[in-house]
Amino acid sequence: MAPELWNAPEFVRTNYVITSAWALAFAVMVAAELALLTLPDMPPRLGIAAIVLALVGAFKFTEWYPDRVKARTAV
């Protein structure tokens, strides 16, 4: 992205939204790790699935959201 667009409100907002999605994903991963450490009866597969889904979800959101913003602003 060109440096002259870095201060554009839509660019800044888009990056805040994407950063928030990653923060949420990391929070889910921390919660899953804590659950795995503190709940010995919890199946490890459940915690691992939560971590993988959080990462994949954040990654896919990062790919999808900028295209959505572009489509919305093009109208």
Looking at the predicted structure, is the pLDDT value of residue 39 above 80?
yes
Asked whether residue 52 is assigned to any structural domain, the reply reads: yes
57 burial via Cβ count (<10 Å: 0-12, 13-18, 19+): middle
Q: How confident is the model at residue 75 (pLDDT cuts 50, 70, 90)?
A: low
- Rounded alpha-carbon distances, angstroms, from residue 60 to 2, 13, 34, 41, 53: 23, 18, 25, 31, 10
Residue 67 is assigned to a structural domain of this protein: yes
Confidence of residue 73 (pLDDT cuts 50, 70, 90): confident
Q: Which domain covers residue 49, as residue numbers?
A: 44-75
Number of domains in the chain: 1
Q: Does 58 fall in a domain? A: yes
pTM: 0.88
- Whether 66 maps to a domain, the answer reads yes
Q: Is residue 33 part of a domain?
A: no
Hey, what amino acid is at 26? F
5: region left, alpha or beta (phi > 0 left; psi from -120 to 50 alpha): alpha
Has residue 72 been placed in a domain?
yes
pLDDT at 2: 81
